[in-house]
């Protein structure tokens, strides 16, 4: 059994890799495919959720959560983080006049913390502090 700190570090490592894929997809869709940046934000975010779920289920949490149950719960949990990502990116770009990549990265860090706390408790049934 991993300690809370080890589990958190593993989760953030997995999330960092999945986030990198998210950002890559975001950049490709926005910069090369001409997709509106907020739609690219949402699509990249969903790709991150699916990738992170499967890696975290087996490596970080050693969970037996079924794919259907786990993806359903993590999708609901991450709707909160998705709302933060889309709204925060919009505020960063439209109000604070940050470039879309800078806004997206800052907001991604905040969304990652929210995701860890909620995924730990509800998706994988592990208290994030124990």
pTM of the model: 0.73
pLDDT tens-place string over residues 12-23:
999 899 989 999
- 34 within a domain of the structure (yes/no): yes
- 129 within a domain of the structure (yes/no): no
Tell me the residue range of the domain where 87 lies.
4-123
- 88 within a domain of the structure (yes/no): yes
- 128 within a domain of the structure (yes/no): no
Look at residue 1 and tell me whether its pLDDT is greater than 70.
no
Tell me how many domains the chain contains. 1
pLDDT tens-place string over residues 28-78:
999 999 999 999 998 998 898 899 999 999 999 999 999 999 999 999 987
Q: Which positions ≥6 away from 53 have C-beta within 8 Å?
A: 70, 71, 74, 123
Alpha helices in 1-130 (DSSP H): 4-27, 37-55, 67-90, 100-118
Q: Indicate the SS3 state at residue 21.
A: helix
Q: How far apart are CA 49 and CA 130, in angstroms?
A: 24
- 99 within a domain of the structure (yes/no): yes
């Amino acid at each position: 059994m991993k300690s809370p700190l080890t589990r958190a570090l593993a989760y953030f490592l997995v999330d960092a890799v999945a986030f990198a894929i998210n950002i890559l997809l975001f950049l490709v869709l926005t910069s090369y495919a001409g997709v509106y940046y907020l739609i690219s934000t949402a699509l990249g975010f969903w790709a991150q959720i699916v990738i992170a779920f499967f890696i975290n289920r087996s490596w970080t949490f050693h969970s037996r959560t079924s794919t259907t149950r786990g993806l359903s719960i993590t999708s609901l949990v991450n709707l909160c983080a998705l709302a933060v990502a889309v709204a925060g990116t919009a505020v960063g770009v439209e109000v604070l006049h940050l470039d879309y990549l800078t806004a997206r990265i800052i907001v991604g860090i905040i969304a990652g913390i929210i995701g860890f706390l909620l995924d730990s408790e509800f998706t994988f049934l592990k208290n994030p502090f124990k």
